[in-house]
Amino acid sequence: MRALQLFGDRDLRLVALDPPPPPGPGEVQIRVRAVGLNHIDVWGFRGMAFAKRKLPLVVGAEASGEVAATGDGVAGLRPGQKVVMYGALTCGTCRACREGRDNLCEDVGGIMGFHLDGFCRERVNMPARLVVPVPDAVSVEDAACAPIAFGTVQHMLFDNARLEPGETILVHAGGSGIGTAAIKMAKAIGCTVITTVGDDAKADKARALGADHVVNYRTERFEGEVRRLTRRKGVDVVFEHVGAETWNGSLLCLKRGGRLVTCGSTSGVSASMNLMQLFQQQYRIFGSFGCSIRNIREALDKMAGGLTPVVDSLFPLEEFARGLERLESRRVFGKILVTL
């Protein structure tokens, strides 16, 4: 079967691998159809000295497919059914796993496509526990945005920041995969959305998604614009993933008691902050990484209800690296998918 392996930093090769054996008890074999690209793929591709992993490694951290076969004892999944996969090999038995807080697993085996072989291969065997059925109304391409992009945003907005209807939210980088999802999810519950983008073409597209106010961060200081738009009150929630460049501006955008939730730091990992501002303003700051399996089901239900992902572009498997270049270039609007 065809697979895409990383042999070293920025060294991806299309290879032929033996297909997996028939699925064992409790396992499902999946024919992979679409893989979503995320910043974790960029980190993996560039190489991260501290990431424990063995090369070559099959890339791809977020994917959808169809059930090809099921092993003994697997209920509720049938051949041909569309599915998505939870891409971290959680233990399934620790307290966090038992309580459905999968992304806080105390004994996680690693993230597929980053520490362990991922989804850029035609077939993969998975524990049935980590396989989530996709509603009929959702396309296999859209479904590929559920395990990381939509799941992460669902977890950030509703489990962590506890966003409520009628609140005001600042969504950074409204043209990114998660930014587009955050705008749509916040609008769907009746929030006022302010978003930042890097050019005017993206501003129009963000408005078309429902954003109420769009700030071009290259020409305006976003924190000043947010203060003006909220009549100096500030927003209830900031959706952060830009990091060092925007961190202090983001805090300045919050109202007293506001919540900041972050899942990324694409512009840099270190920032200093004013601790007096933190406690006097009673900010609540949430670090968020990944999501639970429940969040993936919630994301798929939203897609089935019409809240579909914005897809920027589709690339064939052999052009995975071109997709990553596009992701890094910030020229994207929405998700980049690779199809198999």
List interacting residues with Zn ion (CB under 5 A): 90-91, 94, 97, 105
Give the nearer residue to Zn ion in terms of CB position, either 90 or 195.
Answer: 90
Residue 289 Cβ vs Zn ion, minimum distance, rounded to whole Å: 15
Rounded Cα gap, residues 88 and 91, in angstroms: 9
DSSP code of 264? -
Q: Which helix (H) or strand (E) holds 57?
A: strand 57-58
Contacts of 237 (CB under 8 A, 6+ apart): 157, 161, 163, 167, 168, 169, 170, 258, 259, 260, 261
Give the nearer residue to Zn ion in terms of CB position, either 42 or 94.
Answer: 94
Residue 105 Cβ vs Zn ion, minimum distance, rounded to whole Å: 3
Give the nearer residue to Zn ion in terms of CB position, either 24 or 100.
Answer: 100
The CA radius of gyration of the chain, in Å to the nearest whole number, is 20
Residue 95 Cβ vs Zn ion, minimum distance, rounded to whole Å: 8
Residue 98 Cβ vs Zn ion, minimum distance, rounded to whole Å: 8
Rounded Cα gap, residues 336 and 229, in angstroms: 32
Rounded Cα gap, residues 198 and 264, in angstroms: 18
Give the nearer residue to Zn ion in terms of CB position, either 111 or 178.
Answer: 111
Please name the amino acid found at residue 82.
K
Give the nearer residue to Zn ion in terms of CB position, either 91 or 307.
Answer: 91
Q: Is 29 helix (H, G, I), strand (E, B) or coil?
A: strand
For residues 150 and 287, the answer to whether their CB atoms sit within 8 Å is: no
Residue 89 Cβ vs Zn ion, minimum distance, rounded to whole Å: 10
Residue 310 Cβ vs Zn ion, minimum distance, rounded to whole Å: 33
Contacts of 265 (CB under 8 A, 6+ apart): 241, 242, 243, 244
Give the nearer residue to Zn ion in terms of CB position, either 1 or 94.
Answer: 94
Q: What is the largest CA-CA distance in the chain?
A: 62
My answer on whether omega of the bond before 56 falls inside 30° of 0, hence cis, is: yes
Residue 93 Cβ vs Zn ion, minimum distance, rounded to whole Å: 6
Give the nearer residue to Zn ion in terms of CB position, either 94 or 304.
Answer: 94
Rounded Cα gap, residues 322 and 200, in angstroms: 24
